[in-house]
Amino acid sequence: MKISVIIPFLNEEENIPALTAALNTFFSEQKTYTAEVIFVNDGSTDASVTLLKKQTHTHYTCKVVSFSKNFGSHAALRAGIQQASGDYVTFMYADLQDPLELITKMYQAVTQTRSDIVWATRNSTENGLAERTFSAFYSGLMKKYVSAAYPAKGFDIVFFSKKVAGILNHHIEANSSIFLQILTLGFKQDFIYYDKLPRHKGKSKWTLSKKIKLFIDSFIAFSYAPIRFVTMVGILLFILGALFSTYLIIRKLIYNDLESGWPMLISILMFGFGITNISLGIIAEYLWRTLDSSRKRPVFIIDEITDLN
């Protein structure tokens, strides 16, 4: 049995020595399966790749897939899946916040439950209050509007069969979430739980702008909720406008006591135009993604593939 482990990285030179040492130690103890590690360089500008090539890699085969520029972590994971040759595929990360022992635990869960997909779900995290709040908000929306199976504290690690990998390779989606794509495939799935470890070196590349992009991509790619929201707001405003207009006409006919109110008129116009612009922005997101898909531009471009064994 062979497991492909995909590790995307971006400017992680501080973590490379510890990462390779941990991989060597972990895989030296594994007797039930063999492993290949696919490092995906997502446009690093530091010495990460140079350090990685200088390290000694034992008890597993490995290669480095380098992008021509930074395409994002989800594109890196998709490129790794494309290069994987194992019977099962999983993800790990260079900062080692997710224990390597998860690989064995997920493999055991797959064999015991005969699932095609196993998720490693976080029990806890060392993130700050703001990040935990954003994560809980995102998870709640995903659970309600995308899939009821989405865990409350989210996930970063998934273990899946070669069959699932083949489907992902045939359906490489731009501006999408690979995790939600896997979650919504419909195959038998199972969950295990773990505690996420603190990051020891370097800074996280998971910036606020990337989180916002993932938030938008998740809704646009996997839910009709934004468009439904626009429709419901339009209906609500129409009803309120009709009722308010009826009230004004009746009051004018009966009491004739209404004075001209420019401030109120301006407020109504600003509110109305604001809602209109928000609605147009949501629709434009869908149109832009349709245009982007019709262009068929590559989700990632591989510059170089280097075998390290």
Q: Is 112 found in the same domain as 24?
A: yes
Q: Is 151 found in the same domain as 31?
A: yes
Query: Which pLDDT score, from 0 to 100, does residue 246 have?
Result: 77
Q: Is 265 found in the same domain as 128?
A: no
Contact (Cβ atoms closer than 8 angstroms) between residue 197 and residue 126 = yes
> What is the number of structural domains in the chain?
2
Q: How far, in Å, CA of 112 to CA of 115, rounded?
A: 8
Q: Is 268 found in the same domain as 206?
A: no
Query: Which pLDDT score, from 0 to 100, does residue 261 have?
Result: 63
Q: Is 303 found in the same domain as 289?
A: no
Q: Is 202 found in the same domain as 266?
A: no
Structure tokens at 102: 């998860």
- Scan for tokens 């034992």, then name that residue: 58
Q: Is 105 found in the same domain as 118?
A: yes
Q: Is 173 found in the same domain as 192?
A: yes
Q: What is the CATH number of the domain that holds 59?
A: 3.90.550.10
By residue range, what is the domain housing residue 261? 225-295
User: Mean pLDDT for each consecutive 10-residue tract of the chain (309 residues)?
Assistant: 96 93 94 95 94 93 96 94 96 93 95 93 69 74 80 85 96 87 92 84 66 72 72 73 73 69 60 73 76 78 92
Q: Is 105 found in the same domain as 145?
A: yes
HSE-CB at 2 with a 13 A cutoff on CA atoms is 12
Contact (Cβ atoms closer than 8 angstroms) between residue 118 and residue 191 = yes
Q: Is 204 found in the same domain as 237?
A: no
Q: Is 112 found in the same domain as 129?
A: yes
Query: Which pLDDT score, from 0 to 100, does residue 300 have?
Result: 93
Q: In 3-state terms, what secondary structure has residue 186? A: coil
Structure tokens at 145: 């509007």
Q: Is 186 found in the same domain as 208?
A: yes
Q: How far, in Å, CA of 186 to CA of 77, rounded?
A: 20
Query: Which pLDDT score, from 0 to 100, does residue 204 have?
Result: 67
Count the helices and strands in the chain (H runs, E runs): 10, 8
